[in-house]
Amino acid sequence: MPVPPSSVANTELVIITGLSGSGKGTVLKAFEDLGYYSVDNLPIDLIPKFAELTKSAPNIRRAALVVDIREGSALERLPALYKKIRRMVPARLLFLEADDAILLRRFSETRRPHPLGTKQSVAASIRHERERLEPIRKIADPIINTSNYNVHELRETIHSKFGQDRKQGGVLVQINSFGFRHGIPPESDLVFDVRFLPNPNYIPEFKEKTGKHPSVARYIRSFPQSQEFIERISDLLIYLMPHYIDEGKSYLTISFGCTGGHHRSVMIADEIRKRLGAAGYRVKENHRDIKK
């Protein structure tokens, strides 16, 4: 069984991993700003020793380290090693990822080679890395998709989630729209299906527009079931939010899905974002499939 937090006062080890280009360096710096003893690219065989150090050293109460694909085949041992470490100290495994197109753009902008080398394309390296990291991703908590974050927003997210005052700071809400044909966003905490609403896609004048267009939004909003859904879901979420905060939840992802992610889910996500913002919550909005 993992060591309960009370058994090692305030000790916390955060292991940061994930895809190359997903922002691990930025996140490690954010942990350093929070007072975590931070180490980049620690050899995997030294992680248990490092965990022991966080447990015994009086001047290291919280620590964060990065381990990633640069470890090569040794990274395959991380899932088993993580289970062992959690028996020693309270630990969390933070996994960072981003969409393939975003990662390609980041590598292009920085002109840095992918850690897996130059014998294959960057796109192929990203796919290969994603496959190799999947066993680690399955046991990670939390998983953060950094596709729509700039450096400042990513740092704010880490400060909100891991800072000592994170409970007092409330919850940071991510509102997603998506299309079911493209899959449910894996980072979702709550998923709502809005395919029961009338579909603007079948109306020629709306087909090439999105749910952000005023005429499309008016059309969707004109149906009584749309209004009732917005009211009921807003009331539900505003009721739930204080309870999530009381349980220590500092980051909540709410996703609304329709068929293609162009019309209904976009309009509903935008409306719920406004309602939660008006209720005093910090809300970020992302329309994942709006351009697909």
Which CATH number do you get for residue 37?
Answer: 3.40.50.300
Tell whether 42 and 156 lie within a shared domain.
yes
Residue 2: its pLDDT value, please? 40
Tell whether 105 and 151 lie within a shared domain.
yes
Tell whether 136 and 203 lie within a shared domain.
no
Tell whether 154 and 205 lie within a shared domain.
no
Which of 135, 162, 189 is the C-terminal boundary of a domain?
162
Q: Of the ranges 2-11, 32-41, 191-200, which one carries the lowest mean pLDDT score?
A: 2-11
Structure tokens, 171: 């919850």
Closest among 197, 183, 190 to 256, alpha carbons compared: 190
Please give the average per-residue pLDDT across 171-198, as a whole number: 94
Confidence tier at 59 by pLDDT (50, 70, 90): confident
Residue 275: its pLDDT value, please? 93
Which of 132, 162, 192 is the C-terminal boundary of a domain?
162
In the chain, the number of structural domains is 2
> How many other CB atoms sit within 10 Å of the CB of residue 112?
12
Confidence tier at 248 by pLDDT (50, 70, 90): low
Residue 12: its pLDDT value, please? 84
> Residue 276: which domain range?
172-287
Q: What is the pTM of this model?
A: 0.59
Confidence tier at 6 by pLDDT (50, 70, 90): very low
Question: 266 pLDDT exceeds 90?
Answer: yes
Residue 292, in any domain of the structure:
no
Please give the average per-residue pLDDT across 162-167, as a whole number: 59
**Beta bridge mates, 96:** 18, 144
Question: 85 pLDDT exceeds 70?
Answer: yes
Tell whether 62 and 155 lie within a shared domain.
yes
Residue 167, in any domain of the structure:
no
Which of 103, 134, 162 is the C-terminal boundary of a domain?
162
Question: 163 pLDDT exceeds 80?
Answer: no
Tell whether 14 and 154 lie within a shared domain.
yes
Residue 257: its pLDDT value, please? 97
Tell whether 14 and 109 lie within a shared domain.
yes
Residue 97: its pLDDT value, please? 96
